[in-house]
Amino acid sequence: MVTAEEAKNMRSGINIEGKVERKEEPRTVNTKSGGTIDVCNAYLVDESGEIKLTLWADDISKINDGDTIKITNGYTNTFKGEVSLTKGKFGQLEVIS
């Protein structure tokens, strides 16, 4: 497992556990293929700090403020100067408690 601060300097293969705080309202965005998909930001907090967590589609309803979650094989990207973590197509998201 890595910490939120360590994850900010990684690109892929991120295994992290933390508590979800400040889940925002979902919004709908356009996809490159011409459809739409729902996306939602939240913040994953651990002993080192926090990292922005981007939730897509079905994952949005699985997660609530206060949940402890684990992401396996996640990755980060940088958008408008801010690093965000997502599980991506090949990662897993699991609610622990």
Tell me 50's DSSP state: E
- Identity (one letter) of the amino acid at 71? I
How far is 15 from 56, CA to CA, in rounded Å?
18
For residue 58, what is the domain's CATH number?
2.40.50.140
pLDDT averaged over the chain? 96
- Give pLDDT, residue 79: 85
Joined together, the tokens standing for residue 38 give 């729902």
| Number of domains the chain contains | 1
Q: Would the pLDDT of 9 be above 90?
A: yes
pLDDT tens readout for residues 20-78:
999 999 999 999 999 999 999 999 999 999 999 999 999 999 999 999 999 999 999 99
Boundaries of domain holding 76 = 4-95
Give the pTM. 0.91
Q: 59 — phi, psi (to 5°)?
A: -65, -25
